[in-house]
Structure 1
Amino acid sequence: MTALDPLLLRQLDLLGVPRPEVAPAPEAWGHLLSWISEHYRQMEADRHRLRAVLEARVEELVDRLARERSRSDAHRATLRAAGRLQRAWSPRSALAYPGLCVVGYCQAADEVGGDWWASYALDDERVVVVVADAIGHGVDAALLTGVVKGACDVIVRSAHPRSSVTPRALLVALNRSVIDAASEHATMTCSVGLLDQSAGTVTLASAGHPLPYLVRAGGGLAQLQARGPALGVDAAADYDETTSLLADGDRVVWYTDGLVEATDAGGRTFGSRRLRRLLGRCRRTDAVAIRDGLVDALVAFRGGAPASDDVAIVVAERRCG
């Protein structure tokens, strides 16, 4: 028996060809070498075909990624434009009415959000303030906000007589707007205050919204009470009104839950206690300074941690002088 060439055996092993038990006859060597050569040529052809398939697939994926990136860039540009429009709804500058000053802050956690506020002069003596928060944030909340904010504008500005606009009536109408415009799972909290400069009062109604604070010019802090279900929960919902005296220099502070539920990098919440402590120091602080102080306190508390929810703050101050 002739021993097989070790180099040939190694080539057979690399090709996955079983080793023969005996060496082939001399005349078979030519056939074996010819088979090995053909096998190599076939492997090379297969390798080229596989490479061509892979290159085509990579090119297809790169093209698809480019198209997705283009669509994503266009989507982000649309969201940025929508965000600019939303921010225009809530002016940063103070709004001056006869005997009243209203100032607010609204910041979305994403490009667009669900928090909003508005104020409307009913006549020379009365102003309505609306603060609302669509449950959740992002595009869905922003869409609901756009519908309800638009409905609120139409309801107030087309009311005849203007005396028909009351906190209760406005919440009933906005509740219907949410139910008509959105799915059964869409809800929004809302607080409406009617400030009457002549009477020196603030009348409040609330749809599941955090209760605002009354910061007394002479010292003291009270939480204005008003209860009612969130908008979009019950088509037959009704809302109670409460009226409180509003002296010269008194301020009403509204906010959304994104303020008290904000968290820092360690997971601690801003909290209602911190808010009350800050407001308790504002005996002689005007509306603009209260708003700016709360915003600064929130930014400092977060310490660079990303916002997890939208935030709105609105302060109304009675000024008799």
Structure 2
Amino acid sequence: MRALAARKPAAFAAALDELRQRLQTDPATPLFETVTPDGALFFSTAKNAVKPAILSPETVAAVTAKLAPLRGLTRLENGRLGLAVVFPLFSRDGMSGVVALAADLKQPLNVFAASVENDVFVADGERRLEYATQPALWSSVAAAAAGVRSFSVARAGDRVFTLVRLPARDLLERPSVTLFASRDITAAYWRETVTGGLSQGSITLALAFALSALYWYMRRSFKPLNAIIGVLKALARGNTEVGVRYPARDDEIGRLAGTVEAFRRAQQAHGQLLALRQELDMAACIQRSILPSAFPLAAGFSLSASLQTAREVGGDFYDFFALPDGRWALIIADVSDKGLAAALFMAVARTALRSTAAIVPEPAACLTRTNDLLSAENDAAMFVTVFYSVFDPATGRLSYANGGHNPPALLDASGRVRFLESTDGVALGIMPETPYEAREIVLSPGDRLLFYTDGVTEAIDGQERAFAVDRLIAALADSSAAGVEELVQTVITRVRAFAGAAPQFDDITLMALHYRGADSEHDPDLTVPLAVAGALR
């Protein structure tokens, strides 16, 4: 250091004589070079050196500024790349010089390639080859070397290589060259490819099998769903006869099938209900058609009636018709039970009464013969209560027989209400050969007679109280001056008001007779057609 500081090259060389001799005789030995802080060559192991080969002014300035070692690649005097390290030297007075030690890159690269069992290539930024352990392979890996990926796989024909890319810098930290390490992995690659292909094939077969199993399962799962969808489509078309399968399965399909089956039965029941409703509507229309369509236009008396069924059809009926001798048959009846069966029996009973009255009009005899007809082959054990009367407008005489029915109420001209005396007869259709008794009264001009069924007196309100006879008497007493239509409507209004929101459970039938006397003149306000009066409801 003293020789360097004193700028005595001979003394410096003498001190490094052994090192100098060794560096000059060993080609693999690194180049050793020393310059003064101003960049002048002070010492070099290179022969005949007159200027620095490594320590350029930029390098000396960089190490002087940094005051720390520099490492990197450098270009040697023979034009080949070398690996160099540059560091400052210090004496007591400060930095006395800069030393550079450089070695050809070939030797360390060969050592590196052998240690990692790779081929090594060094190329500049233009991919010009600077060094290679196997130069012939560079053309095969050059295409992959153009990339920027640190690791890649390159193929050259049937050969496959791995390529590791490592950029290198010079002493001034500038990009210099790129180091590539490559290994031939052709055998391993194709072995992996074949093994991977077999594995992939196995996976593909397994996947195909799994997909086939899944397809079979989905088909099996969707088959009942498709069947259920078919049932729903059939139901949408109105076909309720289709059957639903799988209702016994204990899973979502079974529960869905059970729901659809319940819906199908509900639709089927709904369809049957609609058909029954249509039949009932038709039966109601037929029932209304067999009742009298108009009240008689007579001078001595007037009639009005109303029938309100509890269901679509009922078992009550009223009837009136002229007899051959000028008298009138007046009938009100109530069939046991309600609904369609009662309506059918009502039609039979009305037909039997009319047919018998045309031959035997007298009340007792008519009820006796009609009872025999209705009692014969009465497997349904149905019966009908009947109040049958024959009215003579010329005299006001009313003869009657009662077959278990409510006796009519008589509202006389003075406003007093009483009921006709009973004849103690039983309902028709119960027992054949049953005798019936007849009675008669003579109506006075101004008397009103109200025929009714038990649907009037047995109407129930919300507290389950019956309308009863006393409320009927009160309604009649309040209608002492009313005509027959008003009388009927007054009673109906009173019953409806009494029942309130309580449902009607029995037919309500009323028929009123107003006797004005044989010498009275026709009053058009009291005798109107039934369709105009609106009495039939």
Please give the range of the TM-score, normalised by the shorter of the 2 chains.
0.7 to 0.9
Of 384, 391, 413, which residue of structure 2 is paired with 1:217?
A: 413
Report how far residue 69 of structure 1 moved.
Answer: 5.1
Query: Which residue of the partner structure matches residue 431 of structure 2?
Result: 234
Which structure is higher in helix share?
1
Cα displacement (A) at 1:274: 1.0
Distance 2:299 2:379 in 1: 40
Seq. identity, %: 25
Deviation, 1:268, is: 3.1
Higher RCO (C-alpha under 8 Å, 6+ residues apart): 1
Q: TM-score, normalised by structure 1?
A: 0.79
Residues 1:70 and 1:35: Cα distance change in structure 2 (over 3 Å): closer
Alignment of 1:77-226 (within 5 A): 77-91=278-292, 94-122=295-323, 126-157=327-358, 159=359, 164-180=360-376, 182-226=378-422
Q: What CA RMSD, in Å, does the superposition of the two structures yield over aligned residues?
A: 2.9
Q: Give the corresponding residue for 1:52.
A: 226
Aligned ranges for residues 2-13 of structure 1 at < 5 Å? Answer: none
The answer on whether the counterparts of 1:117 and 1:130 sit within 8 Å (CA) in structure 2 is yes
* Partner deviation per Cα, 1:1-22 (whole Å, 9 max, x = no partner): xxxxxxxxxxxxxxxxxxxxxx
Asked if structure 2 preserves the Cα contact closer than 8 Å seen for 1:135 and 1:186, the reply is yes
Kept in 1, the 8 Å contact 2:292–2:320? The answer is: no
Offset of residue 276 of structure 1: 1.4
Which one of the candidate residues 466, 491, 514 is aligned to 1:294?
A: 491
Q: Which residue of 2 aligns with 1:10?
A: none
Amino acid at match of 2:451: W
Against the structure 1 CA distance between its residues 267 and 61, is the aligned structure 2 distance closer, same or farther, given a 3 Å change threshold?
farther
1:284-318 CA-partner distances (Å, limit 9, x unpaired): 22222211111222233333443211111011121
Determine the C-alpha separation between the residues in 1 that align with 2:339 and 2:349: 16
Code of the aligned partner of 2:464: G
Post-superposition shift, 1:41? 5.0
Alpha-carbon distance between aligned partners in 2 of 1:36 and 1:71, rounded to the nearest angstrom? 49
Structure-2 separation of matches of 1:255 and 1:206: 13
Q: How does 1:248-263 map to 2 (within 5 A)?
A: 248-263=445-460
Runs of 5+ consecutive residues of structure 1 not aligned to the other structure = 1-29
Q: Deviations over 1:18-73 (max 9, x none)?
A: xxxxxxxxxxxx99999977765554333222322332344455520567655544
Shift of residue 225 of structure 1? 1.8
Give the one of 498, 504, 519 matched to 1:307. Answer: 504
Name the aligned partner's letter for residue 178 of structure 1.
L
More strand by share: 2
**Alignment check: 8 A CA contact 1:134 1:141 kept:** yes
Shift of 1:120: 1.9
Higher CA-based Rg: 2
Equivalent residue, structure 2, for 1:247? 444
Contact 1:120–1:156 (CA<8 Å) still a contact in 2? no
